[in-house]
Amino acid sequence: MPGRVIAIDGPAASGKSSVSRGVAAKLGFLFVSSGHFYRAFAWGVLRDGISPEQAPGWISGRRLEVRLDASGVSLLLDGEDATPHLSEAATAAMVSPLAAVPAVRDMVNTCLRALAAEHDLVMEGRDIGSVVFPDTPWKFYLDASPEERARRRAREGAVDSVAERDRLDSTRATAPLTIPEGAIVIDTTHLGLDGVISAVLELINAGDVR
Ligand code: C5P
């Protein structure tokens, strides 16, 4: 039987990852960052000296292995662990241009849907409720003010431009960042992490989630 999917979408640094992790831990579901899949391929194109324009041909020859252990999901690209490279500045700069390529999105979506065939998931991303799992009844969209998101990113020590990634992610032709139909929108600007996790869990338990 396919697993349940709780979809949590939103722009960069909206709190999706921490909230999704917390909700997954409470429910005993698997936490999946779909962004990590795009980042693994972004690292791969840099490793192989490929441009986003060349990605459609390149990606068909790639082997992405999803490993699950006590610490969660890790990704191996052509047998190499991508984990140490996911947060690198070069990866962050490449990821949004690469994520705009439809062939890359198709490949990632196939991997994400395969996970849902076997596990209950809390999955965060940009198009989880709109494109990857449009039929799930559990959809959330987290947002926060641009200033607060920039502050959170700086606190994490991240060096990439959140604003530029948001611009690319929201304006691309395929699966742009959008509020999925039926999603509950939560503005996390003035909410603590525990407050958002509780709110999401309450909505799920109350069956209020459309
Ligand atoms: O969530 P994270 O910041 O790791 O995502 C990195 C990038 O991956 C995003 O800026 C976006 O370009 C891409 N992405 C996407 N669709 C998703 C998840 C991430 O296009 N579902």
Tens of pLDDT, residue by residue over 136-146, are 999 999 999 98
Quote the pLDDT of residue 1.
62
What are the pocket residues of ligand 1 if the criterion is a CB atom closer than 6 Å to any ligand atom? 12, 33-35, 38-39, 95-96, 99, 125-128, 165, 169
- Work out which ligand 1 atom sits closest to the CA atom of 166: 10
Q: Which amino acid is at 95?
A: V
Tens of pLDDT, residue by residue over 97-122, are 999 999 999 999 999 999 999 999 99
Q: Is the Cβ–Cβ distance between 159 and 26 less than 8 Å?
A: no
**What's the gap in Å between 135 CA and the centre of ligand 1?**
21
CA atoms within 13 A on the CB side of 185: 9
Quote the pLDDT of residue 119.
95
Q: If you take atom 8 of ligand 1, which residue's CA is the nearest one?
A: 35
Which residues, at least 6 apart from 116, have a Cβ–Cβ distance to it below 8 Å? 2, 3, 5, 123, 133
- Work out which ligand 1 atom sits closest to the CA atom of 100: 20
Q: Is the Cβ–Cβ distance between 147 and 10 less than 8 Å?
A: no
For the chain, which domains are there? Answer: 1-29+120-210 (3.40.50.300), 35-118 (3.40.50.300)
**What's the gap in Å between 99 CA and the centre of ligand 1?**
7
Q: Pick from 44, 209, 45, 67: which is nearest to 139 by CA?
A: 209
pTM, two decimals, is 0.95
Pocket test for ligand 1, best of 21, 38, 85 (most atoms within 8 A of CB): 38
- To the nearest 10 degrees (0 to 180), the angle between helices 16-27 and 193-206 is 50
- Full DSSP string of 87-135: T-HHHHHHHHHHHT-HHHHHHHHHHHHHHHTTS-EEEEESSIIIIISTT
